[in-house]
Structures are given as C-alpha cells and as structure tokens.
Amino acid sequence: MRVLVTGAAGFIGSHVTRRIVEDGHAVWAAIRPSESADRLAHVRERLTVVELDLRDASAMQNLVFAARPDCAIHLAWYTVPGRYWTANQNLDCVTMTLALARSLAATGCSRLVAAGSCAEYDWDYGYLSEDTTPLKPRGLYGVCKNAVREILQVFCMQAGIQFAWTRFFYLYGPTEAKERLVPHVILALLKGERASCSNGERIRDFLHVDDVASAVWAVSKSDLSGPVNIGSGEPVKIRTIVETIAQHLHREENVALESSSADPHEPPVLLADVRKLTRVVGWKPSVSLKDGVANTCEWWRSTINS
C-alpha cells in the first residue's frame, strides 16, 4: 500500500509513520521545512520525506500527484500548546485540509483518515460517544475541526473516497511537547524540583502514543467510515497519572497535589466511548498506564543524560 502521512514529524505523526513503515508499506512523509525529522530517524532511510508548506496548495498537489497514495493519513494541524485553542492558524488548517482532499480526489486516492478531537463534543456529557453525544465544539480549534469533518464527509462521499475521522483524547508518551502535563511533571521531578498538580480529581482518558499509532493505523486499514474515538476507555484521575510518575521516579515527596476550586472550563469527566474502535475496528490497547508512564519517564531521562 502507498501511504501519505502529513504532519509526519509531529508527536502523533512520527509514531504513526514508524508503525506503517515497520509494517512494510511505502510511505511519503510530509513535514514542514522548519521541522526536524529527528523523530523519524529510526526509519528515515525507509521512507520518502518531503519538506513543504502544506498551506501551499500547488506544492501539496505536486506531492500528492508524485506519491499517488492509496491511503492518506492527515495529521497536520496547528497544535502549539497554550495557543492552538484560539489561534487564527486554525483557519489556515481548514483551507489546507480541503485543498489536500481535492488533490487526493484528483489522483484517485481511495481512503482518507484525518485527525479530529474530543474538543468537538459537548463536554457537559462527560462520557463521549460518536453516535449519541451532541457536538458543541470548544473554541476556534474545535469549531474548525468539526467544520472540516462535516465538509469532508460530504466531499469524500461524492468523490468516492472512504473517509474516517479519528477523535483524539488525552495522549502522552516520548517526544511530547515539554509544556504538556506528563512531560512537565516528569522533567520537574527528574531535576529534583517540585511538581504541583491542581484539580487532580478530574478524570481523563489517557492513551500512550504507541497505542495511538497502532489505533490510527488499524482504522486506516479498516473499512470504518465516519468519526471514531481514539482513547483507552479507562477513567484515570489526573492525580493518579502524576502519582504514577512520581512512584516510578521515586520522587513522591516532590509532588504537591493542590486542592482548588473547580474550573468551570474543565469538566470533571472526559472519557471516550471506545466500543466502535474495539468492536468495529477490532483494536485494543496494549500499553498499561504503569508501563506507558515508565516508558515515557525513561525516554525523558535519556534526553537529559545524553
């Protein structure tokens, strides 16, 4: 199979790309010119890396016509921590995604899998299901994601392209941005600093990035159409993952679990209904929270010691 992956040097994209290459398929990896391909180092010689600005519709069209993929996995989006929720770059990502879809249709690509978000849902419901939970996107990021999904569903149907939309929940693992919760706690504890955590009673759905990659690839190889949640389906308190990190690093005394009033913008529970992922796609997670945290801690330790 010929596969095109956009955002291939990103946190999720690099793991997905490696999974596909290791599965023996021909992969074209699209990355930004300013982006390092270090995350792809282990498979760099076994794929085709193309540097381009995906906002350049002509350059993207040239890539699609050169690769002529059977399947495209579109993971590129603006995701700078702390900024992406309201950034105007979300609008550029909408334009970029629609231009990609048009190029794929022109080359006869048969399947498109694109990245959505749990931010598309109405978070008041807590337990979020693809078929029953109302959609109430949060901020410009969520609105743009949901708008793209609606357009792509109709466009791909008309163009004869199978279309799946992967809604990600709370992901963690090696190479994640330092500003995110898990690496922030790990790095603080590795440096002997105090790691504080407020609202630790909130329940979230955490999934190790290796499982994320295998889930995305499983969806890509399946016949599933429409939205599908990518999560563990297991409720985990934020304090639990912080404590698991501290226990692995033997730094329990450096963790401060602060009590604070509930943030009205942060619901008490966000949990993925993964029945479609497990029953229709036939995928199940293989990395436990304990093992995933240990893997992530040791990766960050290696970056400090190298």
Q: Which helix (H) or strand (E) holds 240?
A: helix 238-249
Domain count, the chain: 2
Low-confidence stretches of the chain (pLDDT beneath 50)? none
Residues 71 and 105: their CA atoms lie apart, in Å, by 11
pLDDT at site 263:
63
| pLDDT score at 259 | 62
Per-residue pLDDT, 19: 96
The string of DSSP letters for 32-99 reads -TTS--GGGGGGGGGSEEEE--TT-HHHHHHHHHHH--SEEEE------TTTTTT-THHHHHHHHHHH
Residue 149, number of CB atoms within 10 A of its CB? 20
242 and 189, same domain (yes or no):
yes
Q: pLDDT digit string (tens) for 104-152?
A: 999 999 999 999 999 999 999 999 999 999 999 989 999 999 999 999 9
**Domain span at 79:** 2-170+207-230
Residue 15 sits in the same domain as residue 128: yes
CATH code at position 165: 3.40.50.720
Residues 150 and 54 in one domain: yes
| Whether residue 219 is found in the same domain as residue 248 | no
Find out whether 54 and 96 touch, Cβ atoms under 8 Å.
yes
Residues 27 and 158 in one domain: yes
Measured in whole angstroms, the distance separating CA 248 from the mean position of its chain's CA atoms is 25
Do 36 and 149 lie in one domain? The reply is yes
Per-residue pLDDT at 306: 63
- What was the pLDDT predicted at 44? 86
Same domain, 199 and 85: no
pLDDT of residue 37: 82
Question: 7 and 156 in one domain?
Answer: yes
Tokens of 186: 């790990």
Asked whether residue 178 falls in the same domain as residue 106, the answer is: no
For residue 118, give the amino acid letter.
Answer: C
pTM for the whole structure: 0.95
